[in-house]
């Protein structure tokens, strides 16, 4: 047994960590039928996006909704109106780089909309009565839980960490107390 392996000690630490990650980009199509037969599309917006995320099977399920607003002309471009419709969705996001050793009872789910739902195309349908919209959206998710990590223990403590690469003391006072910081405020 070498001297290095005799000196190396390890400890297991339980800590919260990201134990799984995932990302999903989606392009979806919605069909909205306004009360009047559209002549042309003047604008289309996605507003009021709301979502929440829950653990589901091997991934994370993002459940949400948003409102579609379509400004259109009708009656041979002589009048305009806005058609509104609320759309709901469920995106299943698979988790990659999953840590199988985490404690399931401590799981927390985090989801972030990295690309808010956005209408990229709006056309009148072939039958002329509806508007077909293409919407893009993207989510990044993380699964956070308690897990066990193994760390190396430095013999003699951490005093060696106070010196820079040249062996010089970095000037940090090891006796520094939080009270000193509070007094300076």
pLDDT, tens digit, 9 for 90 and up, residues 49-60: 999 999 998 899
Confidence band for 180, pLDDT divided at 50, 70 and 90: very low
What is the rounded CA–CA span in Å between residue 50 and residue 67?
10
User: pTM for the full model?
Assistant: 0.73
* Residues whose CB falls within 8 Å of the CB of residue 156, separated by 6 or more in sequence, listed in order: none
The H-or-E segment that residue 75 falls in is none
30-73 pLDDT, tens digit each: 999 999 999 999 999 999 999 999 999 889 999 999 999 999 99
What's residue 121's pLDDT?
A: 97
Is the Cβ–Cβ distance between 87 and 31 less than 8 Å?
Answer: no
What mean pLDDT comes out for the span 129-157? 91
């Amino acid at each position: 047994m070498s001297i290095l392996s005799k000196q190396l000690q390890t400890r297991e630490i339980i800590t919260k960590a990201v134990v799984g990650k995932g990302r999903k980009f989606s392009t979806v199509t919605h069909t909205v039928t306004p009360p009047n037969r559209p002549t042309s599309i003047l604008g289309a917006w996605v507003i009021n996006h709301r979502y929440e995320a829950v653990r589901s099977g091997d991934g994370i399920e993002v459940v949400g909704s948003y409102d579609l607003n379509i400004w259109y002309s009708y009656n041979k471009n002589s009048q305009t109106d806005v058609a509104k419709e609320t759309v709901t969705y469920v995106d299943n996001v698979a988790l990659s780089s999953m840590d199988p050793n985490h404690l399931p009872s401590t799981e927390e789910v985090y989801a972030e909309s990295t690309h808010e739902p956005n209408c990229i195309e709006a056309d009148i349908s072939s039958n002329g009565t509806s508007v077909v919209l293409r919407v893009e959206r993207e989510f990044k998710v993380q699964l956070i839980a308690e897990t066990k990590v193994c760390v190396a223990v430095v013999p003699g403590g951490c005093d060696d960490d106070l010196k820079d690469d040249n062996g010089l003391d970095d000037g940090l006072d090891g006796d520094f107390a939080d009270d000193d910081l509070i007094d300076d405020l």
